[in-house]
Structure 1
């Protein structure tokens, strides 16, 4: 007696095909209205053998997804036998083999059957269309695009807390540190994820932690180049009583708060400053803040600046106040790759996760490269499945897909600009690089106004900058300018816009930027030195500090070079050169 089919198809597969079946095949078939039966829906407490038999009998067809593990799985062989036997009993051919890996050899009894091939992702749409036609169903519609949960080169922010994974142990450790310590130094190599750990890990965890009451913290995040800390350095030398007053003023603006947390991100910026006096003032302010009972300090710094820190007034910092952050790897990296997609209902091929982890082991500062590769792969997603084959297509010229991903995005962003805009983009990037002396280059946090030149078309400059920001190569952040006094409760502080390269990985991993910095390093450093002299001249009211004959000759030689036209300069520098030339000629006339 023939059983009435209640499902269109029973799909049998091994666990190495689960991601593909759930992410691609089921999404496509269900979109076409195909009713699918899976082992996952078997009744609880019933022998599995009986459930397999019922699934075969109550489905029009049985689809065998042939993968390496399927061929050695005893249960899979049993399902084949059940389906083939049922076909003999009912004088039908219910079994459809689907070969997921075209390097596999089908068993002889399956090789006799007409099969579906899915070894190449380009075959998948046609394979699904043929299967739907066999089941008398229409082609499935195109899937709805999903927002990408990976940030690419940009650090995770507080709004990304639900998508930040892989650093759970470090977050718990940092919360425990801050229960008993008022200073925590987070040190790690570039690309280890320090900023993301703080923004998307620690800060949200502090707000929700049961160790602290609700609204306990007033959090302020700043960089050494931000002017925000001027409130604490207004008195020289910094005074603990004054610092305590500033902290109390911040707390008074939040009635339930009990503690201020100042997050000093990228402390290494301080050590790249030429102004040693500014360095000393900043360090002195941090030292004073360490003594304020209601202020906690969280400082993040790149590991290669450890010697500079140890030579500063902040040292010593005992081990109990230091968290040394190693690059993410192992289970943490696997979770950082897999879980954001999983939370969106997207499946990543297990072999792709393994490949990403293997490639990341060979790349310094690999985390942002992994995130950027996942952004590109998300755009190439096939329904709700991300395939290893698409990652392999990213690589070229001996580069891994990981190394290529960032360059692909950056070069595509640049190629979309006009030649004139590309010149502006080159100049912007060069001004955002702090050239290393005997060490790697770093990012240079720079006010937006300092990126313009006297000859810029304002609209063209704004369009170029926004394009680079929109494509996540640069970031913008607003910094409240302090006048050196504690902010009043209802005062509105003026705002400055600062620009930054999205991640230091661009400095080493983007060949175009590396070429720019190598070709234009000397000219850009000359420009900065001349601009610094122009700023000093302005600071003295343009009444002193003119260039002498040798300095003027250097400035005029530089201004005559093609590089000067590309790199640009300020109106103040041109006025300084003109004033210096006029003064030297006047002195020559007087001497004559």
Structure 2
């Protein structure tokens, strides 16, 4: 990381030091000295251009660092030139250009996955700017690329880069490429955006964050509720019901592929727990309501597990009708086993 002169000592000791916009003299040192340590030089006209663009600009340092790094990658010799700097998009455009190139490289299904990842990595500001949101790597478990046919020639990556089944391989491959492009940072089991500059300077991400703000808030509340449910050993009392459940179900019909594993389990358990049993008044007896949790069109919802394999222990043997069985198992939490409860044969004599 680049530090203004005078800040390096405090940074080395782990201190949090307020750093204002760098002066012109500090910017020159920030631009020239790291290049000199790497055996390179910066053309005088490039130094003058960067200083003019960045002087007295809050938040300029990460933009300058990214632009100069991309300038170095474009060059073929020991001198960093102004033409290469301008080709990167400069201080204002280099981050956006890098992000757009990463987005264009992915097949269409992974582009949707990339959108889901960056939305999770952004903290929604309420009256303030959006900022980075570090998340545990496990929060991305279960994210899947939508099942859509790849459009030949629509992206610059190889079709072999896309896993036809999506899943963990898609997420891992995407994160690896985003980290290589220095758009995200992977460390200590966490994932986060490399800097707020990515959030503020990439127009596509800004559009994602503003086009449906209410839907993003619904997802954040759902994610928080699912985490709490899991921390409470998946207690049935922590499940969604009423208006909260209806709102989450409506959201999932349009954004189901943005659900991770835990959120999917939570919403499925909430829906099942509060679905009227077959034969109940107003529920109807001649059809089964469609699954409310939509991850992929045409893919059936994951079945509930057999109670006997749940952490709460086996079900006592008793005479059970189909309607009674469905009612009693309605509040079962979803576990990794996901075996279907067979109410047609259990407990009948």
Question: Is the shorter-chain TM-score for this pair beyond 0.5, marking a shared fold?
Answer: yes
SS at match of 2:236: coil
Q: More relative contact order in 1 or in 2 (CA 8 Å, sep 6+)? A: 1
**Unaligned regions of 5+ residues in structure 1, if any?**
1-155, 157-163, 175-197, 204-262, 264-297, 301-322, 396-400, 479-496
Residues 534, 576 of structure 1: 8 Å contact kept: no
* 2:105 paired residue number: 416
2:69 to 375, 381, 386: 375
Residues 165, 335 of structure 1: 8 Å contact kept: no
Structure 2: how far apart are the matches of 1:548 and 1:370? 49
1:556 to 244, 249, 256: 249
Over aligned residues, Cα RMSD in angstroms? 2.5
Structure 1: how far apart are the matches of 2:3 and 2:123? 31
**Distance 1:454-1:436 versus aligned 2 partners, 3 A rule:** closer
**Distance 1:540-1:170 versus aligned 2 partners, 3 A rule:** closer
* 2:37 paired residue number: 343
**Unaligned regions of 5+ residues in structure 2, if any?**
145-165, 284-349
SS at match of 2:248: helix
Q: Where is the strand percentage greater, Structure 1 or Structure 2?
A: 1
* 2:114 paired residue number: 425
* 1:102 paired residue number: none
**Distance 1:454-1:510 versus aligned 2 partners, 3 A rule:** closer
1:475 to 151, 168, 185: 185
SS at match of 1:499: strand
* 1:58 paired residue number: none
* 1:499 paired residue number: 191
* 1:465 paired residue number: 175
Structure 2: how far apart are the matches of 1:394 and 1:367? 16
**Distance 1:470-1:393 versus aligned 2 partners, 3 A rule:** closer
* 1:391 paired residue number: 85
Runs of 4+ in structure 1 off by over 6 angstroms are: none
Deviations 1:127-182 (A, max 9, x none): xxxxxxxxxxxxxxxxxxxxxxxxxxxxx2xxxxxxx5642x2345x4xxxxxxxx
Structure 2: how far apart are the matches of 1:591 and 1:416? 51
SS at match of 2:274: helix
Deviations 1:290-343 (A, max 9, x none): xxxxxxxx4x3xxxxxxxxxxxxxxxxxxxxxx432122322211110011122
Residues 222, 248 of structure 2: 8 Å contact kept: yes
- Structure with greater Cα Rg: 1
**Distance 1:510-1:589 versus aligned 2 partners, 3 A rule:** same
After TM superposition, give the deviation of residue 382 of structure 1 in Å.
Answer: 4.3
Deviations 1:44-82 (A, max 9, x none): xxxxxxxxxxxxxxxxxxxxxxxxxxxxxxxxxxxxxxx
**Does structure 1 residue 512 correspond to structure 2 residue 201?**
no
**Does structure 1 residue 589 correspond to structure 2 residue 263?**
no
After TM superposition, give the deviation of residue 420 of structure 1 in Å.
Answer: 1.2
Structure 1: how far apart are the matches of 2:3 and 2:244? 54
TM-score with structure 1 setting the length: 0.41
**Distance 1:454-1:445 versus aligned 2 partners, 3 A rule:** closer
Residues 376, 405 of structure 1: 8 Å contact kept: yes
Structure 1: how far apart are the matches of 2:75 and 2:239? 60
After TM superposition, give the deviation of residue 515 of structure 1 in Å.
Answer: 1.1
1:402 to 62, 77, 91: 91
Deviations 1:171-195 (A, max 9, x none): 45x4xxxxxxxxxxxxxxxxxxxxx
SS at match of 1:391: helix
* 1:332 paired residue number: 26
Structure 2: how far apart are the matches of 1:392 and 1:499? 30
**Does structure 1 residue 565 correspond to structure 2 residue 256?**
yes
SS at match of 1:374: helix
The residue correspondences of 1:82-481 to structure 2 (distance < 5 A) are: 156=1, 164=2, 166-167=4-5, 169-172=6-9, 174=10, 198=11, 202-203=12-13, 263=14, 298=15, 300=16, 323-361=17-55, 363-395=57-89, 401-453=90-142, 455=144, 457-478=167-188
Structure 1: how far apart are the matches of 2:23 and 2:195? 19
**Distance 1:389-1:458 versus aligned 2 partners, 3 A rule:** closer
* 1:530 paired residue number: 222
The residue correspondences of 1:29-44 to structure 2 (distance < 5 A) are: none
Residues 165, 339 of structure 1: 8 Å contact kept: no
Structure 2: how far apart are the matches of 1:543 and 1:573? 10
Structure 2: how far apart are the matches of 1:591 and 1:438? 44
TM-score with structure 2 setting the length: 0.68
Residues 431, 444 of structure 1: 8 Å contact kept: yes
Structure 1: how far apart are the matches of 2:103 and 2:29? 32
Residues 166, 332 of structure 1: 8 Å contact kept: yes
After TM superposition, give the deviation of residue 412 of structure 1 in Å.
Answer: 1.0
**Distance 1:519-1:346 versus aligned 2 partners, 3 A rule:** same
Structure 2: how far apart are the matches of 1:442 and 1:433? 6
Residues 165, 340 of structure 1: 8 Å contact kept: no
